[in-house]
Structure 1
């Protein structure tokens, strides 16, 4: 988890920092084969050198970026959960319970979908 220390220190709100740390630790525990990395000052996880999931902190939410293909695949579930989103990320509000079920589905989808991917991003 030390790899994410600098990213976590940049989150001024201690409750938000604790939530981010909780989510990152959950990913590490649930998907021990993923490699934790920091790119573009954001915590991410990769598998065989390809991007799987990334996280960033904003004032009102924790953003989760499963890449565009993941957003398309889970569009209905994201809408049904009432989560705000863009084409590239889902916004999980700090004051709401975190949806680990959806996060697990997104990560699992990317691991399987990118099993043969040889680039960092999908082409």
Structure 2
């Protein structure tokens, strides 16, 4: 979590900072083999040098980016959880609960799907 300290400290809204820290700490604890990193000014987690998931803070939501394949794979579940999404990210509104079960599924999917991936992004 130390790698995210400056990022978290830069979030002015305390509620947003607390929620972001909660999610990042959960990922760190739940998936200890993932490497926490800051790239492109956003917190993300990688596995054997390949991207798994990233997060970013916006005015109205926490953005979750599991790559397009992950969003396509879980689109129905994302909608059922009450979140909206684009091709590249899921928006969790600040006043909505985090569906950690869905987040876990997305991360596990990317870890398994990219087990043999030798590039940062899917090709």
TM-score, normalised with respect to structure 1: 0.98
Partner of 2:11: 11
Unaligned runs of 5+ residues in structure 2 are none
Deviation at 1:7, TM superposition (A): 1.0
Partner of 1:52: 52
Partner of 2:89: 89
**Runs of 4+ deviating beyond 2 Å:** none
Secondary structure of 2:117's aligned partner: coil
Partner of 2:110: 110
Secondary structure of 1:74's aligned partner: helix
Pairing 1:28-43 to 2, within 5 Å after superposition: 28-43=28-43
Aligned residue-pair number: 123
The answer to which of 7-16 and 17-26 deviates more is 7-16
Deviation at 1:82, TM superposition (A): 2.2
**2 CA distance for matches of 1:22 and 1:14?**
12
**2:83 counterpart of 1:78:** no
Unaligned runs of 5+ residues in structure 1 are none
Root mean square deviation of aligned Cα: 0.6
**2 CA distance for matches of 1:80 and 1:8?**
29
**1 CA distance for matches of 2:13 and 2:58?**
10
Secondary structure of 2:82's aligned partner: coil
TM-score, normalised with respect to structure 2: 0.98
**1 CA distance for matches of 2:71 and 2:121?**
14
